[in-house]
Amino acid sequence: MIEITREYERALEKINKRQQLDNVKVISDVTDIMNNVRKNGDVALKEYTLKFDKIKIEKFEISKKQIKEAYEQIDNEFLQIIRQSIKNVKDYHKRQLIKSWDYKKGDGITLGQKITPLENVGIYVPGGNAPLVSSVIMNAIPAKVAKVKNIIMCTPPPIDSGRIVAAIECGVDKIYQVGGAQAIFALAFGTDTIKKVDKITGPGNIYVTNAKKMVYGYCDIDMIAGPSEIMILADSNANAKFIAADLLSQAEHDTKAAAILATTSKDIANKVQEQIVEQSKYLKRSDIINKSISDFGVIYINEDIDVLLNLVNSIAPEHLEILTQNSEYCINRVNNAGAIFIGEYSPEPLGDYFAGPNHTLPTGGTSRFYSPLGAYDFLKRTSIIKYDKSNLEKVYKDIALFANKEQLDGHANAIKIRFGDKVDE
């Protein structure tokens, strides 16, 4: 880690450029995958599964037999924890639901909004060396709470029992063992096996992320997500061991994860650096951690908490931990963060797995305009407009004038014809 003084802006710029989505080679490769999947469907998916996952797939959909085997294989204690996590996430997301509404604007006018769940949703769950069972829950449950009719999951093979069981427990309708950018294109455009969906959610690598960008407009997506990040705001009373552990918990995600400490205390900064060295020795993913900390670990020291809070809002972190005595003061001044964890017994992994709020969060400074994934992301809004004749008659000349000012006389005609007026009047 480095202590940042005058060079902090340069260091933060490096953090924000961790995932360059405009990589020409990646875009070219992803475009080729898209064209192949759109043209050849399942055949292309099988080719890419063999090429990238080194597995020959004959049937993408997980069978009832495989589901039964997954339940036989999963540890019962883990199964009970998955069920409790699902309950917590469901309880939280139920509170996000919005209802249809309307109101009367005098006699003869009704205005309103109709809320309808999406019909078909695809969730993408990464695999690799860290199969994210928790991502199944965080993507499927909000859709289920919103009453989405069909939930399809794509995830790279081989699929562990945890991902399969979690999907069934969440009410996922179909599970397909296909990953990468090709899975995103299959969900967006459909194949003989995989039905196209209205929205795709879930994290992935740079290829998955670029694929999601490319399909936006053919279907909806949740957000453009990059490498994970954590920022901790701490004063001199914070526990250096806890801070280091929480920074490491994000650094282990991948080599481009960012761990940032902003503190009013140089003593805390020094102790945290010592703890990072000590604790990382015993962690299985220490190689990833060391690379991540070396490249994207930053400590910023300033005695003025307001300076640090301005830094928080500038970085707009995915995860923000507030470990200060004046936490309420800090919370009220934070405008940009994906999720805020308050106090030393609210560590970031609590949100990843168990508390209830969603862990699919905006990264790379996008919490300035993105929000966490929620039940509301699986609901669409439709406007309702109802006028009777007398109320339209009161305003029809104004509307016709407005339309004519925009040189759209067809619009004007659609209004005036109802009252016997000619277009050129």
Query: Do both 234 and 279 map to the same domain?
Result: yes
- Prediction pTM value: 0.92
Query: How many distinct structural domains can be found in the chain?
Result: 3
Q: Which residues are identified as catalytic? A: 318-319
Range of the domain at 156: 24-221
CATH of the domain at 277: 3.40.50.1980
- pLDDT digit string (tens) for 197-250? 999 999 998 999 999 999 999 999 999 888 889 999 999 999 999 999 999 999
Element (H, E) at 107: none
Which is nearest to 370 in space by CA: 318, 405, 297, 294?
318
Gap between the Cα atoms of 12 and 15, Å rounded: 5
β-bridge partners, 340 = 320
- pLDDT digit string (tens) for 51-88? 999 999 989 999 999 999 999 999 999 999 999 999 99
Q: Which residue has the higher pLDDT, 181 or 421?
A: 181
Q: Span 112-134, mean pLDDT?
A: 92
For residue 273, pLDDT beyond 80: yes
183: amino acid identity, one letter: A
DSSP-derived 3-state class of residue 77: helix
Query: Do both 131 and 182 map to the same domain?
Result: yes
Query: Do both 149 and 74 map to the same domain?
Result: yes
| Alpha-carbon distances of 43 from 74, 126, 192, rounded to whole Å | 32, 22, 10
Residue 338 CB contacts under 8 Å (≥ 6 apart), including other chains: 317, 318, 319, 320, 361, 362, 363, 367, 370, 372
Gap between the Cα atoms of 289 and 286, Å rounded: 5
Q: What share of the chain is helix, strand, coil (3-state, %, to 5)?
A: 50, 15, 35
For residue 36, pLDDT beyond 70: yes
Query: Do both 288 and 349 map to the same domain?
Result: yes
Residue 3: what pLDDT? 46
For residue 93, pLDDT beyond 50: yes
Task: Judge whether 254 lies within some domain.
Answer: yes
- pLDDT digit string (tens) for 363-397? 988 999 999 999 999 999 999 999 999 999 999 99
Task: Judge whether 382 lies within some domain.
Answer: no
Cα dihedral 169, 172, 176, 177, rounded to 10, equals: -30
For residue 143, pLDDT beyond 60: yes
Query: Do both 143 and 215 map to the same domain?
Result: yes
Which is nearest to 151 in space by CA: 162, 161, 166?
166
